[in-house]
Amino acid sequence: MDRFNAWIRDHALDDIEVANKRFTWSNKRMEPTLVKLDKVLVNAEWNLGFLDTSAAALSATTSDHALIVVDFSREAPKSPFFRFENHWLHIPEVRNLITQSWERGTRQIASAATLLNFKLRRTRAAIRAWERKKSPMQDTLANCNHVVQYLDSVEERRHLSRLEASLRNHANSKAQQIILWQTSFWRRRAKIRGCTLGDENTNFFHAAANCQHRKNKIKLLVKDDTEFFRDQDKLQIATQFFTDIFGKQSVSMPTLDPRNLYDLADLSALEVPFTWAEIAEVI
C-alpha cells in the first residue's frame, strides 16, 4: 500500500471526488462495514484536457462495489458573476470605456448611494459588452508567437528590414505581456504564490487551478437526511436556511407626515402607531 501511495504521489494524480456517496463498498450485513475503496484518479494532462470533470456513484445492485460514472467536458465552466480582471486596467480601450461610462450624464438622482449604484451598473454593462467582443488572449498569444517564429525563420536566410524588426519586437513584447496577464489570472485562481513568471506558468499550476475550482463548487446539500443534487433544489434549501436565520422582510408600518396633520379633517379616525403627544412633539 505504501508503494501504491508513493506511485500516486510520483505521478501527481488528483482524486476526483464522488459527490453522492461517502463509501463505495459495503458487505451488506445488518451491521455493515462501509469503506471507500473505489476512486477516480486523473493526471495533470486530464485536468488540462477536460476542465469540467465530475464523478457520481450508481446504486450497487449486483456487486458490493458501487459503479462510478465520470462526466467530463472540454468546456471551462463559466461563472455567471461578473469579475473585473486587474490586467484590463492596462488596456487603454478599457480605461477610456470606464471613463466615458462614469462621466456620462444621468437623470436627476437625489441619493448619493443610488447614483453610485447606477454608475457602477452602467460601467459593468459596458465592460461586459466589450469582453464579449474582444478576442481571447490565447488566440492573440498564438498569433504573436506565429509572427515571431516566422520572422525568426526569415532572419536565418536574410537580414530583416527595419519594419520587420519593429514588428517582431512588438509581437515579442505583446506575447510577454499576455503571458504575465495569464500568469496573474491562474495564480489567483489556483492560490499558488510560487507562480510569478511566464516560464513558471506550467501545466501543474493550470491543473491545480482546475482542482481548486471543483472544490469550490457545492455539489450537494443534505436536508432531513436526504441528499439533493439539482441546482433548483439546492437553491431552495439555501434560501430557506438563510430565511430561517435572518427572518422574512417585515411589512413597513404606516407612516404619517406631520406637515399634513393640519389638513386632515378627522384626526380621531386615524390609526397610528404612536401617541398624539409624540406627534405634537415632532411638530
pLDDT digits (tens, 9 = 90+) for 226-275: 878 777 888 888 888 888 877 666 555 555 454 454 444 444 444 545 55
Length of the chain: 283
In the three-class reduction of DSSP (H, G, I as helix; E, B as strand; rest coil), residue 130 is classed as: helix
Q: Average model confidence (pLDDT) for the chain?
A: 76
Partners of 157 in beta bridges: none
Residues 8-28 have pLDDT tens digits of: 888 888 888 887 778 888 887
pTM: 0.41
Contacts with 273 (C-beta within 8 Å, 6 or more apart), sequence order: 253, 254
Please report which helix (H) or strand (E) contains residue 70, including its range: strand 68-73
- Convert the pLDDT of each residue in 76-123 to its tens digit: 666 667 778 888 888 888 889 888 888 887 777 778 888 888 888 888
Cα gap 242→57, rounded to integer Å: 30
CA distance 241 to 206: 35
Instruction: Tell me how far apart the terminal alpha carbons of the chain are, to the nearest angstrom.
Output: 84
Where are the chain's structural domains? 2-77, 81-134, 137-219, 251-283
Q: Which residues contact 168 (CB under 8 A, 6 or more apart)?
A: 147, 148, 151, 152, 160
pLDDT digits (tens, 9 = 90+) for 121-135: 888 889 888 888 888
